[in-house]
Amino acid sequence: MEPRPDLRPPGLNADEKTTLLTFLDYLREAVLAKAAGVPEPAVRTAGVPSGTSLLQLIKHLTAVELNWFVWAYAGADRERWDDEGAVSADDTASGLADAYREAIARANEVALACTDLDRPGARSLRETPPPSMRWVLVHMIEETARHAGHADILRERIDGSIGR
């Protein structure tokens, strides 16, 4: 996923799926931007009592993307990804960012292949019937936006950086 040169929110007025994916990509880029350039160990150091760090957010969002789009919606034949996994000493900022970009690419492939936003996926991550692609896209916008806000706060606590 190449960053958009224009960092303002999308002004796209297109079909529903394109609009939803464009906003989701914008938020995904925001999370990656907040972690970009943060040195070790600050990028992995928890900034709040719950233990959340910039790398933890990226690792979590990577698993959430794969779980909702690839496992739940597309029905991948494998175990779910661990979305609560701790950042290990072997995890690097560049490695986790690359894994997130790869997960985004896989998620976008699933979304782009969907021809009917109302069609339910293969299964659900919750005790509910499988959601539609529309629901998955809106949920991922909400999830990613919430964590982008967390990343904003963590980055400001690290070096005072604010804004996109």
CB 115 within 8 A of CB 107: no
Please give the pLDDT value at position 8: 59
Please state, in angstroms and rounded to a whole number, the distance separating the CA atoms of residues 162 and 1. Answer: 23
Residue 89 burial (10 A CB sphere; 0-12, 13-18, 19+): exposed
pTM: 0.92
More confident: 102 or 161: 102
In the chain, % of residues over pLDDT 90: 85
Is residue 132 classed as helix, strand or coil in its secondary structure? strand
Q: Is the pLDDT of residue 148 over 60?
A: yes
Q: Which domains does the chain have, with CATH numbers?
A: 16-21+28-159 (1.20.120.450)
Rounded CA-CA distance 164/143 in Å is 18
- What pLDDT score does 164 carry? 67
Write the CB contacts of 57 (distance below 8 Å, at least 6 apart in sequence): 31, 35, 147, 150, 151, 154
CA 32/CA 92 separation, integer angstroms: 13
Q: How confident is the model at residue 106 (pLDDT cuts 50, 70, 90)?
A: very high
Q: Percent of the chain beyond pLDDT 70?
A: 92
Q: Is the pLDDT of residue 162 over 90?
A: no
Distance between CA atoms of residues 26 and 13, nearest Å: 15
Q: What are phi and psi of 132, to 5 degrees?
A: -75, 165
Neighbour count for residue 143 (Cβ, 10 Å) = 17
87: exposed, middle or buried (Cβ count in 10 Å: 0-12, 13-18, 19+):
buried
Largest CA distance in the chain: 45
The whole-number average pLDDT for the span 15-42 is 94
Per the DSSP assignment, residues forming a β-bridge with 120 are 132
pLDDT value, residue 147: 98
